[in-house]
């Protein structure tokens, strides 16, 4: 089967090269980069168009208040941690949070990992200084190494290929876990094993018992539970490295339209969302559902222009605005955006990222966040949308399934001294498994209200 590809559409995919692209590495070896791009343009896609259509429908439902998006994962995935245990712990955390939300709010939850491609980071500073030595900043495993040596910090195009391969391997495990029986809702108790000492454990255990009872009741009534066996799970990352995203873009053999085969959902970060910039232009041309992070300095006109450029046809589910204002600012900064965007009429799915506006440095020097602030921003997000009659459509969080100590607070009361125990993130602090569950219980209550 062959479809005709509009030559303008194909040429348009490279238009971004004429525009300003923020946060791109300076690759030292242009020839090597070209050969990697060539290879990536031939590799099998990580996602296919029908999945993107399904996800667009799911996000449209979230935008109407008929579902809720749960998007979570590391700030920066690393190649070294792409192993079975870490991936399983993360997937399990997201599934447990989704169970808590679905059960608490009787709302379908769209499950999405910040996974299988979240390997490139925008940085506020291009350099990092330690003990008087200054080196280029770490930009994510897909660009350079985290080790503080001159050699490690040189961008290496081979890392793009490695990133593709590790994304593929990660996605394979995610798929095995979500369709191979592990995610069966009848195992809802088993996901909690190994967390006995966790204060959120018993609350989750009670939820699981109620779900079990409901399943047994429905089963006794003769219901068919095929739908409980598998879970629909999507992956997402920040579309930062345009050489990678462009090389991973394919033309759908069915529609003749371009789609970025690097992940289901792609977002544009706060630092690269300039309306005339390369990132917005490139993502305006692919058919994946896309998101844009909006920080506290976003004007209502910025939001309108993004909406016009990224979703000119007003397709429900195509565009998600992920607001990350900060707990102290969301109640003032969000309403003008929501009002103007709503008045314009195009559909937008509103999601809160309560992490990135609440980053602080602790007295002992750790980059951290307070769980209280994070929860307060989510509360503010619900308050604003409820007051304006718009829809709070989802939650975007940085989390890990492991017992790290990176975020302050929670019922285990991680304090400044506690951060040192297990602070492992290479970039931003993540909620640990227990803090993630606590958050899910609180958000379920907000959703119900």
Residue among 258 and 394 whose Cβ is closer to ligand PEP? 394
One-letter-per-residue 3-state SS of 156-168: CCHHHHHHHHHHH
Could you tell me the smallest distance in angstroms from the CB atom of residue 215 to ligand PEP? 36
Could you tell me the smallest distance in angstroms from the CB atom of residue 396 to ligand PEP? 8
Q: Whole-angstrom Cα distance, residue 52 to residue 44? A: 16
Site string for ligand PEP, 297-326 (x = CB under 6 A): ---------------------------x--
CA distances from 139 to 196, 227, 243, 365, 395 (A): 37, 41, 15, 21, 25
Q: Whole-angstrom Cα distance, residue 182 to residue 188? A: 9
Q: Which of 156, 270, 281, 438 binds ligand PEP (CB under 6 A)?
A: 270
Q: Is 58 annotated as a binding residue?
A: no
Of 233, 305, 312, nearest to 265 by C-alpha is: 233
428 binds Mn ion (CB under 5 A): yes
Q: Whole-angstrom Cα distance, residue 226 to residue 314? A: 35
Could you tell me the smallest distance in angstroms from the CB atom of residue 328 to ligand PEP? 17
Q: Is 293 annotated as a binding residue?
A: yes
Could you tell me the smallest distance in angstroms from the CB atom of residue 13 to ligand PEP? 23
293 binds ligand PEP (CB under 6 A): yes
For the stretch 360-383, what's the b/e string if a residue is b when 16 or more beta carbons lie within 10 angstroms of its beta carbon?
Answer: eebeeebebbbbebbbbbbbbbbb
Task: Locate 398 and state its tokens.
Answer: 């940085």
Residue among 121 and 250 whose Cβ is closer to ligand PEP? 121
**Among 130-138, 267-275, 312-320, 383-391, the segment contacting ligand PEP (CB under 6 A):** 267-275
324 binding partner (options ligand PEP, Mn ion, none; Cβ < 5 to 8 Å by kind): ligand PEP
369 binds ligand PEP (CB under 6 A): no
Residues 328-357 that bind ligand PEP (CB under 6 A): 356
Residues 394-433 that bind ligand PEP (CB under 6 A): 428
CA distances from 380 to 63, 247, 327 (A): 18, 40, 7
List, in sequence order, every residue forming a beta bridge with 130; answer none if it has no partner. Answer: 133
Report residue 289 CA to chain centroid gap.
12
Q: Which of 47, 69, 75, 177 binds Mn ion (CB under 5 A)?
A: 75
Site string for ligand PEP, 3-42 (x = CB under 6 A): ----------------------------------------
Burial class (CB in 10 A: 0-12, 13-18, 19+), 227: exposed
Residue closest to ligand PEP (Cβ): 269
Cα-only R_g, the chain: 21
The count of residues interacting with Mn ion (CB under 5 A) is: 2
CB 434 within 8 A of CB 403: yes
Could you tell me the smallest distance in angstroms from the CB atom of residue 41 to ligand PEP? 27
Could you tell me the smallest distance in angstroms from the CB atom of residue 42 to ligand PEP? 30
75 binds ligand PEP (CB under 6 A): yes
CB 138 within 8 A of CB 128: yes
Residues whose CB is less than 8 angstroms from the CB of residue 222 and which lie 6 or more positions away in sequence, other chains included: none
The set of long-range contacts for 148-156, using a CB threshold of 8 Å and a minimum separation of 24, is 154/28, 155/25, 155/26, 155/27, 155/28
122 binds ligand PEP (CB under 6 A): yes
| Chain residues in the site for Mn ion (CB under 5 A) | 75, 428
Binding residues for phosphoenolpyruvate: 114, 270-271, 293, 324
| Chain residues in the site for ligand PEP (CB under 6 A) | 75, 122, 238, 269-271, 293, 324, 356, 428
């Amino acid at each position: 089967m062959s479809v005709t590809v509009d030559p303008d559409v194909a040429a348009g995919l490279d238009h971004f090269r004429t525009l300003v692209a923020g946060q791109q590495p300076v690759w030292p070896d242009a020839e090597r980069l070209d050969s990697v791009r060539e290879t990536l343009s031939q590799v099998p896609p990580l996602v296919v168009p029908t999945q993107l259509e399904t996800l667009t429908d799911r996000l449209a439902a979230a935008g109407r208040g008929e579902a809720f998006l749960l998007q979570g994962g590391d700030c920066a995935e690393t190649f070294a941690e792409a192993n079975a245990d870490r991936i399983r712990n993360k997937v399990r955390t997201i599934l447990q949070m989704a169970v808590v939300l679905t059960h608490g709010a009787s709302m379908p939850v769209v499950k999405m990992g910040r996974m299988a491609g979240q390997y490139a980071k925008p940085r506020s500073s291009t350099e990092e200084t330690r003990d008087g030595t200054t080196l280029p900043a770490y930009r994510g495993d897909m660009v350079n190494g985290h080790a503080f040596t001159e050699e490690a910090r040189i961008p290496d195009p081979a890392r793009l290929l490695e990133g593709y391969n590790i994304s593929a391997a990660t996605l394979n495990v995610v798929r095995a876990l979500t369709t191979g029986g592990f995610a069966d809702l009848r195992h809802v108790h088993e996901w909690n094993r190994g967390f006995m000492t966790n204060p959120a454990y018993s609350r989750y255990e009670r939820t699981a018992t109620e779900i079990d009872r409901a399943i047994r009741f429905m089963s006794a009534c003769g219901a068919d539970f095929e739908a409980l066996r598998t879970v629909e799970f999507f992956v997402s990352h920040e579309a930062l490295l345009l050489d990678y995203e462009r090389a991973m873009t394919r033309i759908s053999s069915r529609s003749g339209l371009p789609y970025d085969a690097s992940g289901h959902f792609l977002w544009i970060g706060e630092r690269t969302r300039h309306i005339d910039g390369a990132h917005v232009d490139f993502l305006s041309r692919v058919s994946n559902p896309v998101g844009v992070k909006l920080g506290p300095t976003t004007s209502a006109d910025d939001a309108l222009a993004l909406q016009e450029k990224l979703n000119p046809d007003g397709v429900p589910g195509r565009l998600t605005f992920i607001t990350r204002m900060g707990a102290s600012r969301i109640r003032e900064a969000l309403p003008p955006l929501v009002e103007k965007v709503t008045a314009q009429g195009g559909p937008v799915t509103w999601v809160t990222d309560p992490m990135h506006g609440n980053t602080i440095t602790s007295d002992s020097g750790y980059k951290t966040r307070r769980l209280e602030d994070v929860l307060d921003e989510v509360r503010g997000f619900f308050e604003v949308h409820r007051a304006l009659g718009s829809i709070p459509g989802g939650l975007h969080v940085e989390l890990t399934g492991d017992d790290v100590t990176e975020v302050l607070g929670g019922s285990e009361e991680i304090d400044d001294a506690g951060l040192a125990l297990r602070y492992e993130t290479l970039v931003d602090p993540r909620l640990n498994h227990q803090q993630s569950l606590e958050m899910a219980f609180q958000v379920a209550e907000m959703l119900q209200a």
